Structure formats: C-alpha cells, structure tokens
C-alpha cells in the first residue's frame, strides 16, 4: 500500500506545484502557460518522466517545467523568481493544511496514510526545489542575486543546469555508498525536521 500512497502523493504534489507556477505567471501578465493548458489540476499535463523516475530512485524529483515568456513580464527577473517560488510555497502550504487536519480532524487510517505521504512529499519537493540549479526553482530565485554584468554566465549556468543536477545526484549517491554520508539526504532530513517543527509550532 505504501507504493500506492506514494503514487497518489506524487500526483497531488507535482500537480499543485506546477499549476501554481502557471497561475502566478498568468496573473503576472504572461498567458503562455495558460495557453498550453498548464494552469490546470490535470496531473497528465505536469508529470515529467525523468523527474518522476527520480522520485522512486532518490526520493525527490520535479515536474515538467512550466513555460513562460520573459517578454510578457513587466519585471522579468523579479517576476521569474515569483513564478518559480510559487511552486515550492504551494507545497509548503499543502503541508501546513495537512498538519492542521492532523491536529484538529479525526481521520480514518487510509486517509491519514494518504495525507501523511502527501505531507512528506510536499516538504521534500519544497526543500529540493529551492536548490539553486536548473531546472529547479531555486535557479530562478538565484537570478535575483546575479548582477547584470554576469547575465551571460547566468544564462549558460541555467542551460547546463540539468547536467549539473544529474552529476551532483550521481556523485552524492556514490559518495553515500562509500562513506555513508549524503549531502542531499542530510539537507533534506535537517530541512524536513526544521520545517516540520516550525509547522507544529505555528499550528
């Protein structure tokens, strides 16, 4: 049953994450995502093959990137960062809502297990997507800190990001096999515990 719970969590978490990107882009004046059907809660419009596979291999992943046109944005760097952060923030808000349900609403066991899976994956996606390497959302947030004089470097870094993230994940798993230490695993575990503690205090 845990596999079923993970599939449900995967569909829910990635769908709301990617739909949030599209919705914010539309609200900021870019209709690209809406025209391509990405402002939608239909999961088939958002699931990415590699990102989905990584969920099962490494317990983190991503959805199909939501397209947007910088030329339609009034403040391209700032608005791109807002569009990007919308996904992780939506995952965080999903976890907060579930924490409130856990605290105040009696739930049957099957509902509890499904929501627990969604809660866990929501926080993992929130944390993982903040890493500042493309195609992850943190790469757009990083753009706010890069001076215009480094724009060419930043664009090269963005275009090569998927290669970097795959190499880093591969290296991290190899190091973990030898030393038992995983950078990504440690980051996600400490981040998960910290955010969960904050949510418990807030709710």
| Catalytic sites, residue numbers | 18
Long-range contacts of 188-197 (CB under 8 A, 24+ apart): 188/59, 188/60, 188/124, 188/127, 188/128, 191/123, 191/127, 192/120, 192/123, 192/124, 192/127, 195/92, 195/95, 195/123, 195/126, 195/127, 196/123
DSSP per position, 66-133: PP--GGG-SSHHHHHHHHHHHHHHHHHHHHHHHHHHHHHS---HHHHHHHHHHHHHHHHHHHHTTSSS
Q: Identify the H or E element spanning 192.
A: helix 183-202
Q: How far is CA 44 from CA 14, 19, 55, in A?
A: 10, 11, 16
**Rounded Cα gap, residues 14 and 43, in angstroms:** 8
Cβ atoms of 91 and 13 within 8 Å: the answer is yes
């Amino acid at each position: 049953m845990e596999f079923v719970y993970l599939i449900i969590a995967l569909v829910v978490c990635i769908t709301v994450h990617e739909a949030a990107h599209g919705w914010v882009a539309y609200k900021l004046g870019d209709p690209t995502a809406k025209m391509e059907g990405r402002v939608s809660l239909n999961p088939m419009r958002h699931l990415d093959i590699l990102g989905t596979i990584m969920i099962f291999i490494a317990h983190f992943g991503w959805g199909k990137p939501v397209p947007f046109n910088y030329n339609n944005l009034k403040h391209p760097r700032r608005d791109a960062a807002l569009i990007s952060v919308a996904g992780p923030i939506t995952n965080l808000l999903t976890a907060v809502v579930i924490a409130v349900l856990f605290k105040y609403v009696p739930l049957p066991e099957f509902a509890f297990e499904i929501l627990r899976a969604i809660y866990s994956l929501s926080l993992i996606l929130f944390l993982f997507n903040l890493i500042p390497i493309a195609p992850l959302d943190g790469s757009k947030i990083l753009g706010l800190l890069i001076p215009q004089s480094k724009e060419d470097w930043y664009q090269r870094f963005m275009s090569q990001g998927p290669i970097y993230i795959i190499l880093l994940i591969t290296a991290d798993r190899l190091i973990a096999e030898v030393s038992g230490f995983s950078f990504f695993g440690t980051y996600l575990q400490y981040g998960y515990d910290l955010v969960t503690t904050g949510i418990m205090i807030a709710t």
